[in-house]
Each structure stands twice: as structure tokens, then as C-alpha cells.
Structure 1
Amino acid sequence: MNRGTKLVCSLQIVAALIVMTLAERTGDYPPISFTCPPLPPLERPARNVYELRPQDIKVVMALGDSITAGFGIEGLHEDPVLDLYEYRGKSFSIGGDVGANTIASWLRNYNKDLVGMSVGSHVGELCYGDVCPPDQYQPDKDVLNAAQGGAMIPNLVKHELRYLLEQLRNNPDIDMENDWKLMTILIGANDLCLGCSGEVPFLTPDDVEKHLTELLEEIQANIPKVFVNYILLFNISQVYDVGITSEYCRNVHRVLGIECVCVFESGNKGIHVRELIGNMTKQYNERALKVINKFALKYDDFAVVAQPCGLDGTAADLTPAVVSTIDCFHPSLLMHELMTKVMWNCMLTPSSEKDYTFNFWEPLKCPTNETLMYVY
């Protein structure tokens, strides 16, 4: 997501003037770690997407914005330059740093040769509306994490997918035709933030449908053997409900105003804007589901599954510990780990049984050799 040019000079001032108390940063959260036992080798690989199991996945990929790029994960640093970095190796869906609790690192327990995980950190890669500079990727660290800070839904096909296809085709460790691949997509927050701020018009639901249809058509046509995790968009205005409980976060939004400012408006104006965002989020998700349903049960080597876990009550039991101390907006490391657990469980649950709440207390689902990555 876009960050103002005043960020570097303001961070040290904010850190000096505002102290987040320990009480504001703690909460009652379960320890997040992968505790599942190893599994014996599969008797045979999945013959189609309806037989796909976690152990079949050989390649991980991701599309998205600064959340998936890992901005803000480590919070404030003594060196403010580091506050502009993305910590992709810890990103919930695709991070591959040693010891990281991510979907990709958990999958690596079943396939030590898993390909595609992003690693380490580097200065942020930013899109500016329709413009995403093509030469800012760092393939040695990004690998198959194509997410870009500030990315919007229209950026996915014309920029992120282009990078991803190039990397897939040029990686000697990937058998493009035969390796099963997992792609995770989380997008839409910038479309809503820029829309409510008035910087650009809201992306219309019709445009959401058009762009997502194009994206999934391109993925299906160009990437064989792929399971797409499409994470339905949570209501970003709920970040206000988390931050309002923290004096530190209230001051960050008042002093800096660097992220999705309209969400943190006060009074009746703020109430109206947050209701508007909630309504637009619902419409975006309805169109996403409409598009996903067009592709349902049509292919043997392609599936896209909506993951709704977190749509309802996302902020109900969360404290300011889940947001970055940089901007009290982006997810902290704790939140990335909670997202890992929730989305892992969601991915391994049939559609009719998926939990719509952000249930991070649910026991970790440990797969067996019969556990599927459910298409329906």
C-alpha cells in the first residue's frame, strides 16, 4: 500500500514522542507453530485437482499488495530506513525464512524441495496507481512472490502475473507441465483505500468482475496444474476498531496519516466512510465469488477456491498487537502468523464447513495422506 514521502523523517519523531505501552501490545493469543507429524510418501501423485493433497504441492506462488509483500512485519527499527523494507521471508502465504510460520514453510514439511518461497527483506517495491515499475523486482529474494506495495486489482494481470510467468518459465527447478502449484491471491485493500480517500474513483463492482475474470482466464491458460487460493477481502475499516483502543495508534494516525487515512476519520464522517467501505467490500467479494463460480468444476488441472475465513468478526478478539508499530495498519508478525494458521485450516476444510470468522483458536488441522485441498 502507498506510503507518504514524509514517512522516514516522521517515524523517529513519533517513536520519541509516543510510547506504546506493554499493555497495548499484549493479548491472549495461542502460540503459533507447526506441530503436525510427518507423513509417509504418497503412493502416487494426484492425477487431477480433485485428488490434490498438501503433499502434492511442489511450487508456491503469490499475487497481492504490501500485505503479501511483507511490509511492516517487524515494526519500527532504530534505523528508520529499515522501516521502508518488506520482510517477504515472513509473509503469511509464501515466506520461506528459517523458522517462519507461513503456509509455504508448513508445506515444506512435506516437500523439502518446495520451490517459490520468498526470502529475506529488501526496500519496498511500489506501484503508483496504474504504474508498477517492471524493473524493481528482486527475483533472488522475491522468487515467486509477485506482490507489490500499492498494487490494485487491475495491476495483477498486466504486471504481477507477467513477472510470475517469466519466473516460472525460466526456473530450472520447476517442471511447468507436471508440478502441482499453489497460488495465493489477496488483493483489493488499495482499491478501497484510494477510493474512499478520493484519490481515484472506487473500482466499480463491474470492473472488479472484469479484471478478476481476465486474471483467472490468464492463469488457467498459462499455468498448468494450479490450485488458486483466493482470499476474500476482509473489511479493512475494522482496523479502526483495533487501533482506536490504543493511544499509540490514535497518535500515529493523527500525526502521520500515512495509510488509508479515510478509514480513521472521526465523527459522523468516519462512520459514513467505514460503512461505505464495508458495503464496497461486500460488493467486491460478491463479484469475486461470481467469477470464481464460473470456473468451478470445469477443469482437471485448475481450480480456484474462495477462502472466506475472516470475513465476519475479524476484529472481534484482536488487540493492537496485530498491527505494525510503523503505521498501525499493516499486519504485524503476530498477525501474519495468525493468518497462516487460519488460512491453512480454511484451505483444508470443505467449502460447506468453512468458518467465516477469524478463528485463530481452532486447533491446527494436520493432514493425513487422505486429506484434500478441497475444491468444493
Structure 2
Amino acid sequence: MDYRQFMTERLSDYKDDNMLTTRVLLLVCSLAPCHADGFTLEEEEDFNQDVLGTDFLRRPLHPSFFCPDMSPSPTVPTSVEFVKAADVKVIAALGDSLTTAIGANGSTILSIPFEFRQLSWSIGGYGTYQNVITLANIFKLFNPGLLGPSPVWTFHGQPTTVNETGFNFAVTGHNTLNVSDQIRHMIDTFKSYPGLSFEEDWKVVTMLIGMNDICDFCKDKTLFSTDNFIRHMTDALDTMMKEIPRTIVNVVQILSMKPLRDLQRPTLGCQLQKSFCSCLVQPEEDSTELQELVEVNTEFQRRLEKLLDGERFFKKDFAVVLQPYVENAEPPHLPDGTIDMSFFTADCFHFTVKGHEELAKGLWNNMFQPVGQKEVIKTFSEPVKLTCPSKEHPYIYTRPRVESSAAPLRRLCVPLMSLLSVFHSL
């Protein structure tokens, strides 16, 4: 079945006498005032094509990606430090609308309520790597039997099943305070899913959440404080470490969000920014409110890095690794200096498939770079070049930084050296 036929049949599950169009418009209008006020309204184009991207597979296929060693370990690893890509049996994701891939494959405001989970950077499983580059599709090159990639799109606010979402447990609009609910759902699904060995299978879980806390900060500075962000993250990671065996958790560092203020087009869609992230978008450029939000954003990043620096979330069969590649990334620019809006959806806030693919490649590369040597992307203007695991270290890097691991030994050595100097002076 080709993509156009697939999307048409799936659309028929919802569409009845243009009722889906009506529902989309009602939802969009609930998110932002539905009047043009001089902005360009582009919703009169073909609904199927512009909302669901039915011409998605018409673009050229990506070149094949091969590595010298794509084989699993001779036996199933027992240590989290020796897990190769082909050893990973299960992939999952936690987060918000960036991970549900809101609007990622549409071209108008009508696409915003659609969650293109099958194309999501960390978990999308549509087609193959050559169709769309996602972390899951890269892992599928190493293990075609991978469990969990998201197969289809969903509609925001509608009930879903694991057959639709795969192991993408992200929920559009969720804050960090909600992530424990996602984790409980994930654990229950893992334990009951046919063909998944909860105790034996190695799992990779990618978690990116916290941007909505910043977007809502001005509405409740206590509820969305840095302390609460760290408390919720700590509780979430503690739960996973306690309850899920054989797991590597990618915690992707949250983005610096101020550059999103520069994503502007004279369209109704861009006005949705004011609903998605009013605390960021509405303050004046030189206001104390904006400066405070930028400082909170930086503090979120700093405190998250501090939380994950060391062996706090590391044991024989479990590790949490901070992947920092997007922490300072600037929006991509065209040669004339303007922002390349092809990376962003009609709401001028979320990523299109083009942006999702760069997020996926950057995450994969970070996973095979040691702590302290992980690439940090400056801008997506230049495509990220996907790399292979090295011959010297073909495993996903999970060992915390050496300095942190050696700290207890250094603390012991200092008094011992002082004592030896005393004896030497006698």
C-alpha cells in the first residue's frame, strides 16, 4: 500500500461530510483567536495534501546508511556499558508535542492538531531510514525486529492505543509534573506487551520534557519553578531506575527557547505561538519578564546537567545519560540571513519532518560519544552528518564522566597523602 492510499484510508476513519475539517478548525480556534487581522489565511488548499502530507514520499530517498559493524554482541550483554545498537530490542519515548510531532508533516494551520508520531525524531517508525530519518529507523538498520516504533499519526485529544502510538508515550501539552504518568503507562505496557521480555530485553528510552514548564512559568512561578522541575525529573528517573531493568535513558537537554521569538511569518498560524508559549512570546524584547524567563531557561539546563553529572542514575543494568546536542542550537538560516522556515510548522513553533531528522541524527551521534566529548550543535543550517559507532568502542556510551567517578577516591587520597607527609617529616 502506498502512502497516499494509506493516509486516505486512515482519514476515512475520521472524515464524514467534512466533519474532520470542522473539528480541526474548532480545535485551532480554541487555541488562538480565529480572525485574520491582516494575516494570510492559507487553509483553502487541498485538505488531504496540506494537512496530512500525502505527497511525503515523493521527495528523494535518503542514501543508504551502513556501518562496518552492525552485528549484535555474541551473547546478550549483562552490563549497561557493553550494549551495542543491535543489542537494543525495545525503543520508547517520553515528552510533549515535540515528541508527538505535532503538525510535522502538514503545511497549513489545519495540520496542527495532527500528531505525526510515525515521523517523530526519537521514535517514528514509518517506512525505513531511507524514507525518514528517526532514531528508531536508524536502530532498525541494526535490528529490524525492534519493538516500539510509532507506526501512524494520531489526532490530539482522541483516545489512542499502543497499536497507533507504538511506545511513544509522550502527550501533547504535558509539563514535567505529568511525566511520571507517562512512565507508569510505559512500565505497564512493557510488562504486558506480547513478545517483549521485560527482564531480558535491552531498552532505549528517550526523554525530552520541560519546555512547557518554561512556556507556562509566568502563569505560576512556584508550580513551574526550577526546583519543581528538578524534583519531578528526579522522581521520574528514580522510578525508572527502580522498576525497569536493562535500560538506557537518553535525557535530551532542553533547548534555549528565546530564539523561537524570531520565528515569524504574516500568517494566522504564527499567532498560535501566543497560545503555545505565551510567557515567551508576549513580553517585550527588553522587558524584565523576558529576561527572567531566559534566566529560568538557563537554570533549567544548568540544574539538569548537575543532576545527571555523576553516578546518581547509574548501575549495572541501568544508566541515564544527558545528551546535550541541542542546548544552544540556533534556528537554521538561509544564505541571505533569514531564518529557514522550512524547518518549522505552520504554527512557527514546532519542527517539520526536516527538523525532526536533524534532531534524530544529532541524538544518535551523541549516544556514541563519551561524556565530555559530546557534540553540541550550533545551528541546523548545516545538516548533521550521521556517524557510526567506533571500532574501538562499538557500544552506546553510558559511563559517567571519569572525574565524577574518581571523586570519592580523591577525597580518600587527600587525607592519606597528608598523613604520609607527616610521617615523612618525622
TM range (shorter): 0.7 to 0.9
Give 1:184's aligned amino acid.
Answer: T
Kindly tell me: are residues 254 and 180 of structure 1, through their superposed partners in 2, closer, same or farther at Cα, counting changes over 3 Å?
Answer: closer
Q: Secondary structure at the match of 1:182?
A: strand
Which residue is equivalent to 1:155?
178
**Which residue pairs with 1:46 in the alignment?**
77
Alignment partners' CA distance in 2, 1:109 and 1:176: 23
Find 1:117's aligned residue among 139, 149, 171.
Answer: 149
Structure 2: distance between partners of 1:83 and 1:229: 27
Confirm whether residue 332 of structure 1 aligns to residue 352 of structure 2: yes
Residues 88-137 of structure 1 deviation map (CA, whole Å, 9 limit, x = unaligned): 000000011112310011101111110011121121148xxxxxxxxx34
Are 1:314 and 2:330 an aligned pair?
yes
- Residues 109 and 313 (structure 1), Cα distance of their counterparts in 2 relative to 1, 3 Å cut: closer
Larger radius of gyration: 2
Q: Distance in 2 between matches of 1:353 and 1:294?
A: 15
CA contact (8 A) 1:322 1:334 kept: yes
CA-CA distance at 1:56 after TM superposition: 1.2
Structure 1 window deviating more from structure 2 (348-357 vs 358-367): it is 358-367
Instruction: Provide the rounded CA distance (Å) in 2 between the counterparts of 1:282 and 1:219.
Output: 26
Q: Is the 8 Å Cα contact of residues 45 and 56 (structure 1) preserved in structure 2?
A: yes
The answer to whether the Cα contact below 8 Å between 1:34 and 1:101 also exists between their aligned partners in 2 is no
| Inter-CA distance 190–6: structure 2 relative to 1 (3 Å threshold) | closer
Correspondence for 2:307:
291
Hey, what does 2:210 align to over in structure 1?
Answer: 188
1:89 matched residue in structure 2: 118
Q: CA deviation at 1:259?
A: 2.0
Deviation at 1:321, TM superposition (A): 1.5
- In structure 1, the gaps of 5 or more residues are 19-30, 127-135
Are the equivalent residues in 2 in contact too, given 1:67–1:330 (CA < 8 A)? yes
* Residues in 1 aligned to 2:246 and 2:377: alpha-carbon distance in whole angstroms: 30
Q: What's the offset of the Cα at 1:42?
A: 3.1
Residue of structure 2 equivalent to 1:106: 138
Structure 2: distance between partners of 1:257 and 1:287: 27
Q: Is the 8 A contact 1:169 1:176 kept in 2?
A: yes
Match of 1:27 in 2: none
Change over 3 Å in CA distance of 1:226–1:320 after alignment to 2: same
Query: What CA distance in whole angstroms lies between the structure 1 residues aligned with 2:204 and 2:395?
Result: 13
Matches within 5 A, 1:216-255: 216-241=237-262, 243-244=263-264, 246-248=265-267, 252-254=269-271
Q: Percent identity of the aligned residues?
A: 24
Equivalent residue, structure 1, for 2:163: 140
Cα 1:94–1:313 change in 2 (3 A) is: closer
Q: Aligned with 1:258: secondary structure?
A: helix
Match of 2:274 among 237, 252, 257: 257
- 1:192 shift after superposition: 0.8
Structure 1 residue 229: Cα displacement: 0.2
In 2, the alpha carbon distance for the partners of 1:268 and 1:53 equals: 47
Q: Work out whether residues 143 and 167 of structure 1, in 8 Å CA contact, stay in contact via their aligned partners in 2.
A: no
Structure 1 8/59 Cα, relative in aligned 2: closer, same or farther at 3 Å? farther
How far apart are 1:172 and its partner, in Å? 1.7
How many angstroms does 1:336 deviate by?
Answer: 0.4
Q: Bigger shift: 110-119 or 366-375?
A: 366-375
Deviations 1:148-190 (A, max 9, x none): 0110101011x11111111101112111111100000000111
**Structure 2 counterparts to residues 15-26 of structure 1, below 5 A:** 15=42
**Structure 2 equivalent of residue 349 of structure 1:** 369
Q: 1:359 to 1:83 in 2, by over 3 A?
A: closer
Amino acid at match of 1:5: S
Counterpart secondary structure, 2:207:
strand
Inter-CA distance 144–297: structure 2 relative to 1 (3 Å threshold): closer
CA distance in structure 1 between the partners assigned to 2:356 and 2:250 by the alignment: 16
| Offset at residue 16 of structure 1 (A) | 5.5
Give the unaligned 5+ runs of structure 2. 1-26, 46-60, 334-338, 401-426
More deviation, 209-218/38-47: 38-47
CA contact (8 A) 2:204 2:247 kept: yes
Shift in Å, 1:204: 1.6
Q: Deviations over 1:303-352 (max 9, x none)?
A: 00001111124326452111101x11011111101111111111111112
Counterpart of 1:36 (choices 53, 57, 66) is: 66
* TM-score, normalised relative to structure 1: 0.82
3-state DSSP of counterpart to 1:257:
helix
Distance 1:344 1:236, change over 3 A: same
Q: 2:192 — aligned with what? A: 170
In structure 1, the residue matched to 2:298 is 282
Partner of residue 71, structure 1: 102
